Structure 1
Amino acid sequence: MLYLASQSPRRRQLLEQIGVDFRTVDVEVPEQRALAESPREYVSRVAREKALAGLAALSDAGAVVLGADTEVVLDDEVFGKPADAADAAAMLRRLSGRVHEVISTVWLISHKGEWSDTSVSRVRMPELDAATIKAYIATGEAFGKAGAYAIQGHGAKLIEHLDGSHSGVMGLPIFETARLLRAHALITA
C-alpha cells in the first residue's frame, strides 16, 4: 500500500489526478536548512525525512511511503513559507522581475529500499508593483506556500514564464513521481 507522508491538499490532488490509490500519514519534520547544505541537498533531505517518519509511524510491513518537499530558491537562499503578510510581501518583492528555481524532490521508502527523483524548474516573475503584491496577499494564497505564491491559483497571474514542471512548482512533480511509482509497480500506466 502506498502512503503519502503529507497533509498537503495539493499533493493529494495531484496523486488523485493520475489515479493513484493511496492513504495519508501525518508527519511532523523540522524544516531547517543546515549551514553547509545546498538548497538541493536540503530539499532532498527534508523529503526523505518525511518519508522515513511516515514509514516509522506505520505498522504495515508492506508500506511504501512517498515523501516530498518543494522549495523556492533565489541566489542560493531558500524561501520557505512566509510567517506573515509582511514576510510574504518581502519574498514577492525579492522574486519580482527575477528568475528563481523551484526544487521539488520525491522519495519512495519501504522496508525494501529507498528511491528518489528531483525536478528543478525555473520560474520568472515580472516586475510586481506594491499594489499587485498587496492584492495577491489579500487572496490568502501566499500563506503556507514556499516563496509566498501558488501557481495553481491567483498566483498564476504572477508567473511570466515557466521552464520546467508545473506540478513540481505546485509541490509534487508528477512526471518524476509517476516514474518512481511505475518502477516499483505501484502504478501501471
Structure 2
Amino acid sequence: MKQGPHAPKLRGSLPPEGARSALGRPGAGPLLYLASQSPRRKQLLEQWGVLPELLLPDADEDVESLEVVRGGEAPATYVQRVTRLKLQASMERLQRRGLPPAPVLCADTTVALGRRIMGKPADAAEARAMLRDLAGKTHRVLTAVAVGVPARRAGGEGRMVQALSVSTVTFAPLTRAEIDRYVAGGEPMGKAGAYALQGQAALWVRRMTGSHSGIVGLPAFETAQVLREVGLPLY
C-alpha cells in the first residue's frame, strides 16, 4: 500500500497494545475513529464487524472549503488530496479534543465524467444539470480511503496509509421528467454527482464495474487493506 505523496505529519500517541483487543468492543475504548458525516460509511463498517467512534467536525470547521477543485486537477489527484486534507483536519481535531488516541479513518468520493469533476450539487438546478450530463453515458466513481495513526510518543510523527478505488457506472437515458422527479425527492443533495446508488438511482444503472461499496462511499477491499496495514485486520 503506497503512502500519499504529501502525507500529513500526524501527532499524538497510541494506546497500549493490550487495549487493542476488539474492533470497538464496549468498554475497551475506541479502536477506530470514523471522521465522516456519511451514515452509509458507518453502516458499511458495522456490516464488516467494526463499531467506529464518530469524529465529526466542530460547528466552526469549514470542511467544505477542503473540497475546492484546483484548476486542471485530475479526478484521482483531487479525491486523494481532499482525503488527505480531511484526515489531517481530523487528526488535529482528535488531539484538540483530548480524546483517547486511536487510528482515524477518512474517505472521500467524487464522480468524474471524463476529466470533469462532479462534486455535491449546490442546489436543485445544479443537480438537474449534472444528471442530464450523466444520462445515457458512462462515468467513473472514485473513492479514496485513508487511515491515520497517531505517533506513539509526544512530538513524534504518525503515519498515513491511503488507497484508491475506481469504478465505472453507465446510466440509461433519462427524460427531463424523470430527472425532475428524482431531484424533487431530495436524494441528490449532498451526493457527489447528484445521485445515490443505494437509492432510486440504482434503477438507472445499465452497467457497473468495480466496487459497489466504493460507489456507495467506502470500498470494502481497499478499506480492509488499509486497516490491515495499520494492524487492524477485518478478517
With normalisation by structure 1, the TM-score equals 0.95
CA distance in 2: counterparts of 1:157 and 1:138, whole angstroms: 17
Q: In 1, Cα distance between the equivalents of 2:81 and 2:100?
A: 23
Higher RCO (C-alpha 8 Å, min separation 6): 2
Alignment of 1:139-178 (within 5 A): 139-178=185-224
Q: SS at the partner of 1:182? A: helix
Is the CA contact 1:141–1:155 (under 8 Å) kept in the aligned structure 2?
no
In 1, the alpha carbon distance for the partners of 2:51 and 2:135 equals 39
**Residue equivalent to 2:149:** 110
User: What is the RMSD of the two structures over their aligned residues, measured on CA atoms?
Assistant: 1.4
Residue number in structure 1 paired with 2:119: 80
User: Does the aligned pair in 2 maintain the 1:7–1:26 contact within 8 Å?
Assistant: yes
Structure 1 residues without counterparts, runs of 5 or longer = none
Distance in 1 separating the partners of 2:232 and 2:174: 43
Runs of 5+ consecutive residues of structure 2 not aligned to the other structure: 1-30, 151-157
Q: Provide the residue aligned with 1:41 in structure 2.
A: 77
1:16 aligned residue (46, 62, 78)? 46
Worse-superposed segment, 162-171 or 23-32: 23-32
Aligned-partner Cα distance in 2 for 1:36–1:6? 27
Q: Deviations over 1:34-62 (max 9, x none)?
A: 11421111100111111111111113463
What secondary structure, in the 3-state scheme, does the structure 1 residue paired with 2:139 have? strand
User: Which position in structure 2 is the counterpart of 1:91?
Assistant: 130
The structure whose residues are more often strand, as a share, is 1
Residues in 2 aligned to 1:187 and 1:24: alpha-carbon distance in whole angstroms: 20
- Give 1:71's aligned residue: 110
Tell me, in whole angstroms, the C-alpha distance in 2 between the residues paired with 1:97 and 1:86: 19
Size of the aligned set, in residue pairs, is: 189
Of 94-103 and 16-25, more deviation after overlay is shown by 16-25
**Residue 32 (structure 1) aligns with:** 68
TM-score by length of 2: 0.77
Question: In structure 2, which of residues 63, 86, 91 is the aligned counterpart of residue 50 of structure 1?
Answer: 86
Letter of the 2:48 partner, please give it: I
Question: Aligned to 2:144, what secondary structure does the other structure show?
Answer: strand
Matched, 1:126 2:126: no
Name the % identity.
48
Confirm or deny: 8 A CA contact 1:103 1:168 kept in the other structure: yes
